[in-house]
Amino acid sequence: MVTQTLSTTLMGINALEVIIEVDARQGLPGEHIIGLPDTVIRESKNRIKSAIKNAGFEYPLKQYTINLAPAEIPKEGPLFDLAIAVGILKVTQQLKQDINGVLVGELSLDGHVKPVRGIIAIGELIAASKHKTLILPKDNLEQAQLIPGITLHPLTHLRDLKQPLSQTSSATETQLPTPKYPRNLDYKYVKCQEHAKRALEIAAAGHHNVLLVGPPGSGKSMLLKQLPSILAPMNKQALINTLKVHSISTKEGLPKKCPTLRPFRAPHHSVSMAGMIGGGTPSPMPGEISLAHNGVLFLDEMAEFPRQILESLRQPLEDHQVTISRANISLQYPAQFILAATMNPCPCGYYKDPQTPCTCRSNEIQKYWKKISGPILDRIDMIIDVPRLLASELENNTPDETYHSSQMRKRIVQSQHIQHQRQGCINAHITPQQLDEIAPIHKEDKPLLLHALDKGLMSMRSMANINKLARSIADLNGHPEIKRQDILEAMQYRKSHYQNLHLPSPTYPSSHTPYPSQGPMI
């Protein structure tokens, strides 16, 4: 006798349907699992056997053949425990009810159903299929309820199958909880640095990449660590997309206290390529850039990261996704994030500091800045100087509620509401085809950008980024159209004065020319 149950397997951030066939017949007792299972699945027969017995069912001594179809797709993880157990109970005729739907869940030895990874991807697969019913661990119920259009049957223990599945929860339009921002994150605790706070407000409003440059102790890291306190909370679709990535990596997903807060990832500069971009075996997992999807990727001391790691950010910053290719698989993970980074102006950190003399040589400063390539700097919309604070500034500092996180967040939410009404996306994600229509620049203001382009001070990408940046500034200022003052403010954020190294030009002997003339070929 052969029975069938339905389950799923994960392939990147997507789920695939798997048919589990169980055949039981007289013969040498044992369990044989076929269909490219991994070690976890092959070991599941011991968990399932113990769980069935501890749940009050019988486990007849027969020869069980368990096939995972389609057979050519590698299967991994403990997702199939519950489905295999139900298949065995069906084939031994111990279930009084007909269980229809897709089953996922890991079984413990005592029969409890434990949560699994990727429940958002599984829920989306069920919603798009004809089954519309998912039997899942109770601990995964809260995440699965975000997916509309499916019927959910949560299980706590395998013995629950003895009774009709009365605990039915239909996933409908759930109300997202009101976000609770951490009290210890607030720009009111950052003294002075109003120009940097203004720049970060613009970056948060339009999701622009930002780099803070300044000497040690000037407050660069503290400024960026407060950035989550002013980011607008995620809507339901953004929450589902973000949770979909996080549920692949962990069973818990996002923090339960405030799931609508945007992710803030801060990897150490010793992170590996697989840790940053994604990878691993047997199936590549999301890296830091994907876990920061719809949030912030914070690189503290950016120049200390290996050059290869920084260069690998080029394509994700441009395409907002990363493709991980292996010999037998190619997976795509989303990577739409705000890059927020800090760095010192030189190795000692005091280049152009008015108080502490710099001890670095010119070639050392030049080599330090070359750690970050031109293409990476070109993809950073805002490069902000954060100078050392003077004693007089601290003494004369008066509290101003203008740059408290709550006030900044109100302006950012209002600005993003305008952006979504106008073009349906954030300003940083405006496509080149939409740019001239959504963020047009007056004819008399265009020479400002064209002059900088002719002088080689910016590239075409930089000019488009300034255009988007000026659009974000105009939205915050309440300007329906981009004004000249918006463009000028955007242009001043494009380059740090620390980049003007004023290094001496290389000298050549009189008999040497740097570019030899093209003479006749001999």
Is residue 376 located within the same domain as residue 424? yes
Q: Do 77 and 197 fall within a single domain?
A: no
What is the b/e burial string over 248-274, where b = at least 16 CB atoms within 10 angstroms of the residue's CB? Answer: bbebebbeeeebbbbbbbebeeebeee
Yes or no: say if 148 and 172 are a contact pair by the CB < 8 Å rule: yes
* 87 & 19 share domain: yes
Asked whether residue 176 is assigned to any structural domain, the reply reads no
Closest CA to 150 of 174, 176, 175, 131: 131
Q: What whole-number distance in Å separates Cα of residue 331 and Cα of residue 349?
A: 41
DSSP code at position 187: G
Judgement on whether residues 413 and 296 belong to the same structural domain of the protein: yes
For 184, 197, 262, 337, 401, the CA distances from 188, given in Å and listed in that order, are 10, 10, 20, 25, 8
CA–CA gap between residue 5 and residue 1 (Å, rounded): 14
Q: Which residues contact 167 (CB under 8 A, 6 or more apart)?
A: 153, 154
User: Is the same domain home to 378 and 340?
Assistant: yes
The pLDDT assigned to 14 comes to 93
Is 511 inside any structural domain? Answer: no
Provide the domain limits for residue 495.
Answer: 187-499
Compute how many other C-beta atoms are within 10 angstroms of the C-beta atom of residue 488. Answer: 13
pLDDT at 283: 83
CATH code of the domain in which 107 resides: 3.30.230.10
Is there a single domain that holds both residue 161 and residue 204? no
Indicate whether 175 belongs to any domain.
no
- Does the residue 512 lie in any domain? no
Residue 507 maps to a domain: no
Residue 258 belongs to domain with CATH number? 3.40.50.300
Angle between helices 460-477 and 405-423 (to 10 degrees): 110
* 130 and 102 both lie in a single domain: yes
For residue 452, tell me if it sits in a domain.
Answer: yes
* 436 and 468 fall within a common domain: yes
Over its length of 522 residues, how does the chain's per-residue pLDDT go in tens digits? 899 999 999 999 999 999 999 999 998 999 999 999 999 999 999 999 999 999 999 999 999 999 999 999 999 999 999 999 999 999 999 998 888 899 999 999 999 999 999 999 999 999 999 888 999 999 999 889 889 889 999 999 999 998 887 556 555 555 677 778 888 889 988 888 899 999 999 999 999 999 999 999 899 999 999 999 999 999 889 999 999 999 998 766 655 555 678 999 999 999 999 999 998 877 889 999 999 999 999 999 999 999 999 999 999 999 999 999 887 788 999 999 999 999 999 999 999 888 888 999 989 999 999 999 989 999 999 999 999 888 777 777 777 788 999 999 999 999 999 999 999 999 999 998 888 889 888 888 888 888 888 877 788 888 899 999 999 999 999 999 999 999 999 998 987 666 655 444 333 344 433 333 333 333
135 in a structural domain: yes
Answer yes or no: do 144 and 244 share one domain. no
Q: What is the pLDDT of residue 522?
A: 33
Q: For the chain, what is the domain count? A: 2
Query: For residue 517, is it within any domain?
Result: no
If asked whether residues 134 and 196 sit together in one domain, one would say no
Q: What is the pTM of this model?
A: 0.89
- For the chain, give percent helix, strand, coil, nearest 5: 40, 15, 45
Terminal CA-to-CA distance of the chain, rounded, Å? 86
Same domain, 257 and 337: yes
Looking at the fold, whether 144 and 204 belong to one and the same domain comes out as no
